[in-house]
């Protein structure tokens, strides 16, 4: 009797979704295929911009992909931590400190997104897509090492250590 009651209650407690792509218990492949099959060609094209508009009929909010966190969550109205430029952090060769800064940046980025989502704000610099840092060993044949503002270092040793983290 208890088992039957548990099964009935668990079935009643399951959340209902209007579309398969909204159901987190389904595989990513099934969810993506469902979503793409529902989008019109015009809607698909509109999502290729960094400022992707909402698709109201599917309850997909607007999303702006433009954001960076090279040395902390940047360009937000929220108070977040700012760290030294990437080349300065790399010069320390302290991968534990860089990992800690990355962890804090991820936490702050999630907090910014959570608060913005709570307020139904989907403007630039509040999403979860961050374009930096990247591991890019860039060298100029004329003078050797260079400094890419989006790369921790031009040193193969430092970049490989950062990439392993």
Confidence check: pLDDT of 4 > 70: no
Confidence check: pLDDT of 122 > 80: yes
Amino acid 164: pLDDT: 66
Q: Do residues 154 and 139 lie in contact, with contact meaning Cβ atoms separated by under 8 Å?
A: yes
Q: How does pLDDT run across 12-25, given as a tens digit for each residue?
A: 456 899 999 999 99
Q: How does pLDDT run across 45-103, given as a tens digit for each residue?
A: 999 988 999 999 999 999 998 888 888 898 889 999 998 887 788 778 888 888 899 89
Q: What is the mean pLDDT of the chain?
A: 82
Amino acid 31: pLDDT: 98
CA separation, residue 75 to residues 105, 122, 156 (Å): 13, 14, 30
Alpha helix (H) ranges present in 1-94?
2-13, 28-38, 41-46, 86-91
What percentage of the chain carries pLDDT values higher than 90?
46
Q: Cα–Cα distance between 160 and 47 in angstroms, integer?
A: 34
59 φ/ψ angles, rounded to the nearest 5 degrees: 55, 40
All structural domains of the chain with their residue ranges: 1-38, 51-164
Q: Cα–Cα distance between 138 and 76 in angstroms, integer?
A: 29
Task: Say which residue the tokens 């307020």 belong to.
Answer: 119
């Amino acid at each position: 009797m208890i088992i039957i009651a548990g099964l009935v209650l668990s079935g009643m407690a399951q959340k209902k979704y209007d579309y398969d792509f909204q159901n987190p218990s389904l595989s990513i492949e099934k969810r993506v295929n469902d979503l793409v099959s529902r989008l019109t060609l015009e809607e698909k094209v509109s999502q290729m911009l960094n400022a992707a508009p909402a698709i109201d009929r599917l309850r997909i909010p607007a999303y702006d992909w433009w954001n960076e966190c090279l040395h902390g969550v940047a360009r937000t109205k929220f108070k977040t931590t700012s760290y030294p430029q990437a080349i300065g952090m790399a010069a320390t060769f302290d991968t534990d400190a860089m990992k800690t800064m990355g962890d804090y940046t991820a936490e702050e980025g999630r907090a910014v997104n959570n608060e913005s989502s709570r307020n139904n704000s989907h403007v630039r610099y509040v999403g979860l897509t961050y374009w930096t840092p990247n591991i890019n060993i860039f060298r100029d044949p004329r003078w050797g090492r260079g400094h890419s503002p989006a790369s921790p270092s031009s040193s193969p040793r430092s970049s490989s250590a950062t990439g392993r983290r």
